[in-house]
């Protein structure tokens, strides 16, 4: 069954923001009497907004409500993005290259307001027919919900879709949803070996992503894409 749809994760695939999230959370926790350690960022990768905010309250000693934690972290990230959006080299080109031949979507654990803000800053929003946040579904990554919702909004089925992911929970979510899985491992926070083993293809960079690679997963001819 030929792949007709490509769904991108955002953080770590299109924009290099895992370190941004890590730094902002560390600074925020420190200002509010808490802590943020090296194991915390991998622990919340894939979590939805209220999950990681509650984690910071319960596990990191940040004595605020989850909503207050969310608001403070997101405001700081928006300010950072506005100053400098850390677009991953080759990501824009990959999206533009695939857009004529595939339906494109985004399935991210970031809040919707931050996804939309980043894509507009990058000049990429118009290429995506659907943008879904884990905040909009019942269960966050590694559950399949966000990918299943993205497929539904793009009027496709998982068997005809491929996911581009960088993290353990993202790879697990895409595989569980039944999509073909292309891994671009995050260098700062690499996926576990067992999660990486779920990928059909592993690329060293999103810049290497082509239509031919995507179609090869299902054994289709590249067809000039």
Q: What is the mean pLDDT of residues 216-224?
A: 61
pLDDT band at 220, cuts 50/70/90? low
The confidence band for 224, taking pLDDT boundaries of 50, 70 and 90, is very low
Residue spans per domain, the chain: 5-16+87-216, 18-83
From residue 197, alpha-carbon distances to 14, 185, 191 in Å are 22, 11, 10
Run of H or E including 87: none
Q: Which residues contact 20 (CB under 8 A, 6 or more apart)?
A: 77, 80, 86
Q: In this structure, are residues 114 and 78 in contact, taking their beta carbons and an 8 Å threshold?
A: yes
Residue closest to 127 by CA, chosen among 91, 151, 159: 91
Banded model confidence at residue 221, pLDDT cuts 50, 70, 90 = very low
Looking at the domain that runs over 5-16+87-216, which CATH code has it been given? 3.40.50.1000
pTM of the shown model: 0.90
Q: 3-state class of 104 per DSSP?
A: strand
Average pLDDT on 43-54 reads 92
Helix or strand (DSSP H, E) at 33:
none
Mean pLDDT (the chain, rounded): 94
- pLDDT at position 225 is 37
CATH topology for 18-83 is DNA polymerase; domain 1 (1.10.150)
Q: Is the pLDDT of residue 191 over 50?
A: yes
């Amino acid at each position: 069954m030929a792949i007709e749809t490509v769904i991108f994760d955002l953080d770590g695939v299109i924009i290099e923001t895992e370190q941004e999230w890590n730094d902002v959370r560390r600074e925020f926790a420190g200002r509010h009497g808490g802590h943020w350690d090296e194991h915390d960022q991998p622990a919340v990768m894939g979590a939805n907004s209220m999950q990681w905010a509650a984690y910071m309250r319960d596990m990191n000693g940040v004595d605020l409500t989850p909503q207050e934690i969310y608001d403070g972290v997101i405001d700081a990230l928006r300010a950072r993005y506005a100053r400098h959006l850390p677009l991953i080299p080759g990501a824009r080109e990959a999206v533009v290259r695939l857009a004529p031949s595939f339906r494109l979507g985004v399935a991210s654990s970031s809040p919707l307001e931050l996804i939309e803000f980043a894509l507009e800053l990058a000049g990429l929003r118009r290429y995506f027919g659907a943008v879904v946040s884990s905040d909009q579904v019942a269960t966050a990554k590694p559950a399949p919900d966000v990918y299943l919702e993205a497929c539904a909004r793009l009027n496709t089925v998982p068997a005809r879709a491929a996911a581009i992911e960088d993290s353990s929970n993202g790879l697990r979510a895409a595989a569980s949803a039944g999509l073909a899985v292309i891994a671009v491992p995050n260098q700062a926070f690499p996926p576990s070996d067992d999660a990486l083993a779920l990928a059909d293809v592993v690329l060293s960079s999103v810049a290497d992503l082509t239509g031919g690679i995507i179609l090869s997963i299902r054994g289709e001819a590249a067809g000039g894409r």
